[in-house]
Each structure stands twice: as C-alpha cells, then as structure tokens.
C-alpha cells in the first residue's frame, strides 16, 4: 500500500501519522519533496491521504494510480469530486471522529461571547479593572434558545453539551433527526425562518454545498434577535461575511464566533476584525490531539478496508 500524505507536516504530527498507519503501508509526505521527485512520488501513489490542501483537477491528473482519496475530516469541499468520480477514484471522510472537538469549540465560543472573555482578558492585563462594565450585557446559557442549522454528527454532539447548560434546543436540517436524539436533548425541528426569529444562539453545522452558500445573508440577519450570537464552525462560504459585518455594525445581532472563513487565511484587514464582539479563530474546530488520533485511526481503517476489498 503506497500512501502519500498531502498536507504540511511537523515532527510530532509526522510521528502520529507513522504510528497510526498500518504496518503494510508505505507512507510518504508530499511536503518533503518538490519538483520532479514530488511528481514521481505522486505518480506512484495508490492512496492519497489529505486534510485541507486542495485536490483539484490538476493535482488529480498527477495521480494516475490513485484508487482512493481519504480525507482526514468531514468537509470534502476542497476535493474535485466530479473529477475523482470521472477517474473512478473513491473518496471518503471520517464521519463523527471530529465531532467532540468542534462541539467543544462551539460551546467555548458561545461562553466566551456571553462572558466577554477576550475583552476582559485584554482589559485586565492592561491594568483596567472592568468589574462592572459588562455585567448587563453578559449572559448565562441556561434558559436560552440554542438554534442549530444542520443537525448531523457535530450538531447533535454540540446539542448534548448545550443541553447540559440548560438551553432549549431547536434545529433546522433538510432531514429530520431520529426520535432518539430528539428525545435525548429535547430538540424541536423547525423551519429556518422560525429558528432565526426564535434563537438566542445560532450555530452552523451544515456542509458547504451550492445550496448552503451564503445561507445567512442580509435577509436572515434581519430576522434574528438583536441579542443573538452567531457561531460559524462549519465553513466560511455559508455566511455572507460583508453582510454579517454590516449586521454587527448596526446592532442587528450582538456578536459572532467565527472559526472558518470565506478565504483562509483571512486578510489582516478583514471587515469582521474591527469588532470587539467578534471572536476569531483559525479553523481549529477539529484541532486537538484527541481528535487527530481518532481521525487518523478511522482514515487508515478505511484505507485498509479498501485494500482488503
Ligand atoms: P454531517 O454530515 O454529520 O451533518 C451535516 C448535516 O447538514 C446533515 O444532517 C445534513 O442533513 C445537513 N444538511 C445538508 N445540507 C443541508 C441544507 N442545504 N440545509 C440544511 N441542512 C443541511 O456533518 P458533520 O460531521 O456534522 O459536519 C458538519 C460540517 O462541519 C462539515 O461539513 C464541515 O464543513 C464542518 N466542519 C468544520 C470543522 C472545523 O474545524 N471547524 C471540523 C469538522 C467539520
């Protein structure tokens, strides 16, 4: 089994990949080569293992022997699926393996926005004692309505954590969830407009596909409560960032926690960076060692199963 890992690696990550791989797999790291040697390594690869690097047509053309592309994560929006399909290359991801990490980041961003954590950290370290300044705009999760847009693995995992804080769960999805999970977190299915009007907290957990591009734009921000906070841990293109900046600047909504961006990395002068009520993180939803171990094990299990036929 000739496996090439496409994304950049650092020593600890390389060791984790080598520890997780099946014995019979030969694993090469594309980032360690360039030019003709890289092309030759790609041309011999049977399996491509990748995370966030773009797998477009020009790259797929360099992979004549690849039979399977294995994403270490969920979103396959960075892979040219049509081109892979045309060449009979299968593609799979690691469903559920990163749900805990993204769910925990979602709750962290909500709590940090509700308790003005970043603002207060900066002020306190600057010698400003803002003990009272933010009390009337700080909140508890308990008793709030948490609206989920997308209720798959990550949405459901997040709902379990959120429920633990005493929120009411409502969700919108193209598919209604199982009655088991609806009962477990006492979730109510509703239409998108209704969710936008009712929710105090809105978190996004849908894939980026043509139907979800700019799913939240001016019209949707107009429907939200002025006290609402929005968490995007899904994909940047799902939120119209310019419209979100406008909504924040006129107080249509109260704040946002953004882990994913329309262009990654975003420019230093990104319109959302001007707001204290925006918390920005660099696409780290699944960025924990615990997640990585689960994801790599699942990815190599998939590759081994395909090899076994
Ligand atoms: P999932 O497939 O389990 O759930 C996605 C849900 O979205 C499904 O229930 C599906 O029915 C629903 N959906 C699809 N199209 C829809 C539409 N047009 N309108 C409403 N609902 C729709 O995936 P998941 O594991 O929960 O992951 C969700 C997304 O989170 C991924 O696609 C990925 O973009 C993102 N993600 C981000 C990070 C990060 O680091 N921030 C990490 C992992 C995943």
The CATH number of residue 169's host domain is 3.40.50.720
Do 21 and 3 form a contact (C-beta atoms < 8 A)?
yes
In the chain, what percentage of residues exceed pLDDT 90? 100
Q: How open is the CA angle 191-74-160, to the nearest 5 degrees? A: 55
Instruction: Name the active-site residue from 87, 115, 213, 283.
Output: 283
pLDDT score for 23: 94
Nearest to 73 by CA among 235, 216, 256, 241: 235
Do 168 and 103 lie in one domain? The reply is yes
| Cis peptide bond prior to 265, omega within 30° of 0 | yes
Do 225 and 105 lie in one domain? The reply is yes
Chain-centroid distance of CA 51 in Å reads: 12
Gap between the Cα atoms of 309 and 22, Å rounded: 16
Do 135 and 276 lie in one domain? The reply is yes
pLDDT score for 114: 98
Active-site residue 235, yes or no?
yes
14: confidence class by pLDDT, cuts 50, 70, 90? very high
Dihedral pair phi/psi, residue 14, rounded to 5°: -60, -40
Do 123 and 264 lie in one domain? The reply is yes
Active-site residue 264, yes or no?
yes
Mean residue pLDDT of the chain comes to 97
pLDDT score for 106: 99
74 CA to centre of ligand 1 in angstroms: 8
Nearest to 69 by CA among 308, 291, 292, 299: 299
Do 51 and 72 form a contact (C-beta atoms < 8 A)?
yes
In the chain, what percentage of residues exceed pLDDT 70? 100
pLDDT score for 21: 97
pLDDT score for 64: 97
The greatest distance separating any two alpha carbons of the chain, rounded to the nearest whole angstrom, comes to 64
Gap between the Cα atoms of 184 and 177, Å rounded: 11
pLDDT score for 73: 96
pLDDT score for 211: 98
243: confidence class by pLDDT, cuts 50, 70, 90? very high
pLDDT score for 284: 97
β-partners of residue 29 are 5
Burial class (CB within 10 angstroms; exposed 0-12, middle 13-18, buried 19+) of 11? exposed
Instruction: Tell me the whole-structure pTM to 2 decimals.
Output: 0.96
At 229 the three-state DSSP class reads: strand
Do 217 and 244 lie in one domain? The reply is yes
Do 193 and 262 lie in one domain? The reply is yes
Do 215 and 252 lie in one domain? The reply is yes
* CA distances to 85, 99, 293, 303 from 92, in Å: 12, 16, 17, 9
User: What is the mean pLDDT of the segment spanning 206-211?
Assistant: 97
* The pair of three-digit structure tokens given for residue 200, joined into one six-digit string: 């105090």
Gap between the Cα atoms of 29 and 16, Å rounded: 13
Do 143 and 252 lie in one domain? The reply is yes
Residue that the structure tokens 């600057």 belong to: 126
233 CA to centre of ligand 1 in angstroms: 10
Instruction: Name the active-site residue from 68, 235, 241, 294.
Output: 235
Burial class (CB within 10 angstroms; exposed 0-12, middle 13-18, buried 19+) of 194? middle
User: What is the mean pLDDT of the segment spanning 82-105?
Assistant: 98
157 CA to centre of ligand 1 in angstroms: 12
Q: Look at the chain and report how many structural domains it folds into.
A: 2
Instruction: Name the active-site residue from 12, 61, 128, 264.
Output: 264
Query: Best substitution site from 51, 102, 176 to test ligand 1's pocket, by max atoms within 8 Å of Cβ?
Result: 102
Do 124 and 260 lie in one domain? The reply is yes
β-partners of residue 203 are 148, 231
Domain containing 241 equals: 98-280
Query: Best substitution site from 92, 159, 207 to test ligand 1's pocket, by max atoms within 8 Å of Cβ?
Result: 207
Do 69 and 93 form a contact (C-beta atoms < 8 A)?
no
Do 297 and 258 lie in one domain? The reply is no
Do 250 and 303 lie in one domain? The reply is no
Per-residue pLDDT tens for 148-201?
A: 999 999 999 999 999 999 999 999 999 999 999 999 999 999 999 999 999 999
Q: Check the CA dihedral 63-262-122-291 and report its sign.
A: negative
Do 79 and 103 lie in one domain? The reply is no
Count the Cβ atoms, other than its own, within 10 Å of residue 262. Answer: 17
Q: Tell me which residues have their CB closer than 6 angstroms to ligand 1.
A: 73-75, 95, 98-99, 102, 150-155, 173-175, 205-208, 211-212, 233-235, 259-260, 283, 285-286
């Amino acid at each position: 089994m000739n496996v090439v890992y496409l994304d950049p690696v650092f020593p600890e990550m390389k060791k984790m990949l080598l520890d997780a791989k099946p014995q019979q797999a030969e694993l090469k790291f594309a980032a360690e080569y360039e030019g003709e040697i890289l092309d030759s390594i790609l041309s011999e690869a049977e399996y491509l293992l990748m995370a966030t690097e773009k797998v477009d047509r020009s790259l797929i053309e360099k992979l004549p022997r690849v039979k399977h592309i294995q994403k270490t994560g969920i979103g396959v929006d960075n892979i040219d699926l049509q081109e892979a399909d045309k060449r009979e290359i299968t593609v799979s991801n690691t469903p559920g393996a990163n749900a805990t990490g993204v769910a925990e980041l979602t709750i962290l961003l909500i709590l940090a926005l509700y308790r003005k954590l970043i603002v207060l950290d900066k002020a306190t370290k600057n010698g400003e004692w803002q003990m009272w300044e933010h009390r009337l705009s700080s909140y508890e999760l308990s008793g709030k309505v948490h609206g989920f847009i997308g209720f798959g693995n990550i949405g459901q995992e997040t709902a379990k954590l959120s429920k633990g804080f005493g929120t009411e769960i409502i969700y919108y999805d193209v598919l209604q969830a199982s009655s088991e999970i609806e009962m477990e977190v006492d979730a109510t299915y509703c239409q998108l407009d209704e969710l936008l009007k009712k929710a105090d907290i809105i978190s996004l957990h849908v894939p980026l596909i043509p139907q979800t591009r700019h799913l939240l734009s001016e019209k949707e921000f107009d429907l939200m409560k002025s006290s609402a906070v929005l968490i995007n841990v899904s994909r940047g293109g799902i939120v119209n960032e310019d419209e979100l900046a406008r909504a924040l600047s006129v107080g249509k909504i109260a704040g946002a926690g953004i882990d994913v961006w329309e262009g990654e990395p975003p420019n230093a002068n990104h319109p959302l960076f001007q707001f204290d009520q925006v918390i920005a993180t660099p696409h780290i939803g699944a960025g924990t060692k615990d997640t990585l171990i689960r994801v790599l094990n699942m990815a190599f299990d998939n590759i081994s199963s395909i090899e076994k036929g």
